[in-house]
Amino acid sequence: MSFKDLKKQSSLGSLTQKLVKEVEKMNTTSGGADERLWKPEVDKTGNGYAVIRFLPAPEGEDIPWAKIYSHAFQGPGGWYIENSLTTVGKKDPVSEHNRELWNSGNESDKDVVRRQKRKLSYYANIYVVKDPTNPQNEGGVFLYKFGKKIFDKLMEAMQPEFEDESPINPFDFWQGANFKLKIVKKDGYWNYDKSEFDSVSALLEDEDALEALWGKEYSLAGVTAADQFKSYEDLEKRLKYVLGQKQPARRVDEEVFDEDSNRGSFTPDFKNKAPVAAAVASASSDEDDALSYFQKLAEE
């Protein structure tokens, strides 16, 4: 799709309809920091503020976000931090293990499932309008990782609840809107409830600058590419070791030492040819999504 076609679809509103259909389809299916990844920061009180603009899909791609599930939990054998094969519609050993626990009928097993549940994350290209903590980021294009709550705000913008609210495509250059990211610390977690979209406006008036900005976007297809997922067999081996069911080999011992020594500072590694998206997400942001998923598994 050319830049000219992108603008034409903007005026017709067809992109918004396409994005809504993609979400409906999704809802019916079951190392060191990289400079391309933007992260908001908070002050000593736990408050943070920034203004960003969600960007259209990169050239050659249709959807302006990538969705991925991952698992991040600690067992007797160390940490398990891996992308979930359920992201690409395949069976995953953790999900199968959790299903067995959920179906056991023991409430204590369900508590274990809640601790081992899959985490939902999204990736999108953004343009940083204002970043008071790191002003050098302003005017730059980055990848932004966010959770279900912010994604819900994107959907609310495309499908407003009330009749007096006009739908917008927040990923649109011309008919989109800046997103005022407001963070407060609540119950030990970052809370985004006060975040909101500004009024509709073009991101930039200069269309040559817009087209150049579009060309700076990062591919999102790589987030869920095949090389971002380990095989079922390798994941199962890792799971058994983390759960203390198998004696580790020397190589695994070294891996666990490296993981434990860096625990708490894990970030995706985008240095390979495609981004790696197995990161620890906020436990509070996807509670309903995870529990409904396990309930569905229990009924199968």
| All structural domains of the chain | 3-299 (3.90.198.10)
Distance, C-alpha 282 to centroid of its chain: 11
Per-residue model confidence as pLDDT tens digits over 130-153 = 999 999 999 999 999 999 999 999
Mean pLDDT of 109-123: 95
Write down the pLDDT at residue 30.
Answer: 41
Residue 253: burial class (beta carbons within 10 Å; 0-12, 13-18, 19+): middle
Regarding pTM above 0.85, the answer is no
Q: Which helix (H) or strand (E) holds 210?
A: helix 207-214
Q: Does residue 215 surpass a pLDDT of 70?
A: yes
Write down the pLDDT at residue 98.
Answer: 96
Q: Count other C-beta atoms under 10 Å from residue 2's C-beta.
A: 9
Write down the pLDDT at residue 164.
Answer: 87
Mean pLDDT of 97-109: 95
Among 113, 115, 146, 150, residue whose Cα is nearest residue 296: 113
Q: Does residue 265 surpass a pLDDT of 70?
A: no
Q: Which of 34-48, 61-75, 160-174, 240-254 has the lowest mean pLDDT?
A: 240-254
Per-residue model confidence as pLDDT tens digits over 171-181 = 999 999 999 99
Q: Does residue 84 surpass a pLDDT of 50?
A: yes
Per-residue model confidence as pLDDT tens digits over 16-54 = 666 666 665 554 444 556 788 999 999 988 999 999 999
Residue 103 pLDDT grade (very low, low, confident, very high; cuts 50, 70, 90): very high
